Structures are given as structure tokens and as C-alpha cells.
Amino acid sequence: MASTLHVIIILALHSLVVAQNASSYPLGDQGNTTNKNVAIIVLYDIRGFNVTNTRLFCERLAYEYKTRVLMPDFFRDQPTANATWSRVQQDLLTVNTYLNSQNYTKLATIGFCWGGLRVMKACGNGNNNSWTKTPYFTGISIHGSQLNVADAEVLQAPMLFIRAGNDPSLDNITAVLNQKSFGSKCEYKTDLHQVFANRVFVYHITYKIKLESVP
């Protein structure tokens, strides 16, 4: 397990306690999560691991959805270019193995910008993945950078795509995904500011994950 800990930093799990009606409830651990078989892996943006807002997002997600949330450190304080897809993929496999050992059988992914593209790759079986079938039942790409048709063609799980600002159109990707059996389950949002407002963002995420986790 020691070899895994330098890759995995667990956020908003045993240490997150919320007081309500004079009682405290630890969130994110196996004994107190509502969704005991669902875990969410967050892939950060180009700014890396030590970003307060990203960590707060993980905490809020764990609190709102009462589930396990993990955010691996893919960069490890090294130049971004070192975080090749091969290394990202291996880190994800390490995380998956850990979660499976903890009896989490439904794995979902959420990625920001840099992480948004990697989520799309992880939810497919192309790009020399180590798996023939994606281990993730859904993925969410937020302001994903360099999203492309090639990854859409090998996508194997429904996703939620959220554009921001001047992000390129998703029309070509939508056209490809509409041909897939799960195409009708994919969702596309075009106003990132509106999606984030008034807790709607977390609502969309939790609704999407809950919807897709139903057998």
C-alpha cells in the first residue's frame, strides 16, 4: 500500500466532518457513505494538484453525494509533459485496484480542462489502453481541452460534456456519439457559468452519476 500512497491523495474522506443538529457525520468512508459501491475519481486541470478550488470541489462532491472521492497526483511536481497518457493510465489502474479492494464496484470520472480529455480517453478502449472495456460507467468532461472525434469513436460509456467560454463546438463529437447505443444518455452543457451557479453543477454531476449507476 505504501507504493500506492505517493500516487493517491485521498480528499474529503475520513477527516471531513459536518455538524448537523449537534451530531457529527464523517463523510466519504465506507461506514457512512450513502452510495457505498460508487467512487469518483477527479482529474485536475493543467495547474495540477495543489489548487484550493479543486480540493474544495472534491470536498463538496464527497459531501453532496456522500461517496468516496479520490484525486491522484498525476504530475508529481514534475513538468506537465511528463504526465503522458501511459502514466495517467497506469495511475488510474492503481487507483482502480485500490478502490476495488475496498469493494467499490461503480467507478466514475470527472476531469477539468487537461483532465477532461483524459476522462474521455479513460471512458473508451482506444489509445493503447490497458483495458478492452472501460472500467468507468460514466465520465464528466468540464472545459475539456483538445477533445476529438478519434476518442469519441472509441468511447464506451455515456458522458456529460460542459463547454466554457470559446471552447470549440462539440457538434462533430455529438454526431459520433449519437450513433452509439448509449448516445441518448450523453449530455452537453454550453454555459459553464450557469452550470456552476446555485449548486446546479453538483446537481448535474450527482444526477448523472445516480442515473448511470442504476443497473
For 68-80, the pLDDT digits (tens) are 888 888 888 777 8
Tens digits of residue pLDDT in 124-162 = 986 667 788 999 999 999 889 999 999 999 999 999 998
Give every CB contact of residue 61 below 8 A, 6+ residues apart in sequence. Answer: 12, 40, 42, 67, 69, 110, 202, 205
Percent of the chain scoring above 90 in pLDDT: 31
Tens digits of residue pLDDT in 88-124 = 998 899 889 888 988 989 899 999 999 999 999 999 9
pLDDT at residue 2, rounded to an integer: 33
- Rounded to whole angstroms, the Cα distance separating 117 from 67 reads 24
What is this structure's pTM? Answer: 0.78
H-helix or E-strand spanning residue 42:
strand 38-43
pLDDT band at 31 (very low <50, low <70, confident <90, very high): low
* Spacing of C-alpha 51 from chain mean position: 16
Mean pLDDT for all residues in the chain: 75
- Rounded to whole angstroms, the Cα distance separating 155 from 158 reads 8
Q: Is the pLDDT of residue 9 over 70?
A: no
Is 148 in contact with 127 (CB distance < 8 Å)? Answer: no
Q: Which domain holds residue 128?
A: 2-213
- Rounded to whole angstroms, the Cα distance separating 58 from 45 reads 13
pLDDT band at 65 (very low <50, low <70, confident <90, very high): confident
Q: Number of structural domains, the chain?
A: 1
Q: Is the pLDDT of residue 44 over 60?
A: yes
Is 152 in contact with 176 (CB distance < 8 Å)? Answer: yes
In terms of DSSP bridges, do strands 187-189 and 8-10 run parallel, antiparallel, or are they unpaired?
unpaired
Q: What CATH number is given to the structural domain containing 160?
A: 3.40.50.1820
Task: Give the HSE-up count for residue 212: Cα atoms under 13 Å, Cβ half-sphere.
Answer: 28
